[in-house]
């Protein structure tokens, strides 16, 4: 465990979230077949690398959002998080979870609402980009055939495409998050764009 998370856990709100995440994520894998708690700590440390002054409530939201399946209904989890980690952690967690459940169709109302929240909710842009950076890094580090297949799914032009939404996120957050964070997200998006194929005559 790197220094950022060790330091962040000195705040009781982050420590309580760390313990909940470790307990809830046990035995779970992300959609990319990564151990969920490992994903939680990687995303949190990535966030801390780019934003070392990130508040403990945002750390708590990161650690808990990374858990794929919560052991209680959403409403009960949100009450618990508000009580143990503070209302700001609960609001960030709710927004991160809502985005995760809505971005399959980038033109829908929920995705547009998340773009609005990225502009106005403190620290949401930073936490959201940390997840996206780690996910893209993992996807692009896979063997070439698997990586191309995963990025191809992301870039489909049908109803399930996420790439236009991610491009909007990059443009919108460029003036909110630190420049190195924005640059890394943009680099990963560019690296993952499908190469156009030409048809021979």
Tens digit of pLDDT for each residue in 83-115? 999 999 999 999 999 888 776 554 577 778 889
Domains of the chain with bracketed CATH:
3-192 (1.10.3210.10)
Q: Mean pLDDT of all residues in the chain?
A: 86
pTM: 0.86
pLDDT of residue 195: 55
pLDDT of residue 110: 75
Compute, in degrees rounded to 10, the torsion defined by CA atoms 158, 161, 164, 168. Answer: 140
Percentage of the chain beyond pLDDT 90 is: 68
pLDDT of residue 3: 85
What are φ and ψ of residue 91, in 5° steps?
Answer: -65, -40
pLDDT of residue 31: 84
pLDDT reading at 35 higher than 60: yes
Measured between alpha carbons, how far is 80 from 73 in angstroms, rounded to an integer? 11
Q: Using alpha carbons only, what angle is made at residue 39 by residues 94 and 57, rounded to the nearest 5 degrees?
A: 40
Instruction: Tell me the C-alpha to C-alpha distance, in Å, between residue 136 and each of 32, 101, 147.
Output: 10, 18, 10
């Amino acid at each position: 465990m790197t220094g950022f998370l060790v330091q962040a856990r000195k705040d009781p709100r982050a420590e309580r979230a760390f313990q909940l995440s470790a307990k809830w994520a046990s035995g779970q894998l992300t959609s990319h077949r990564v151990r969920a708690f490992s994903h939680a700590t990687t995303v949190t440390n990535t966030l801390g690398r780019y934003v070392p002054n990130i508040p403990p409530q945002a750390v708590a939201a990161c650690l808990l959002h990374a858990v794929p399946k919560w052991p209680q209904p959403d409403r009960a989890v949100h009450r618990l998080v508000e009580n143990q980690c503070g209302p700001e952690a609960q609001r960030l967690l709710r927004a991160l979870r809502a985005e995760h459940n809505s971005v399959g169709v980038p033109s829908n109302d929920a995705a547009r609402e998340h773009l609005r929240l990225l502009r106005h909710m403190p620290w949401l842009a930073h936490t959201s980009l940390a997840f996206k950076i780690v996910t893209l890094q993992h996807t692009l580090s896979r063997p070439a055939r698997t990586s191309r297949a995963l990025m191809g799914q992301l870039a489909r032009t049908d109803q399930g495409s996420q790439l236009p939404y991610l491009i909007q996120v990059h443009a919108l957050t460029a003036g909110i998050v630190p420049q190195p964070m924005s640059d890394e997200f943009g680099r990963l998006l560019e690296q993952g764009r499908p190469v156009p194929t030409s048809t021979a005559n």
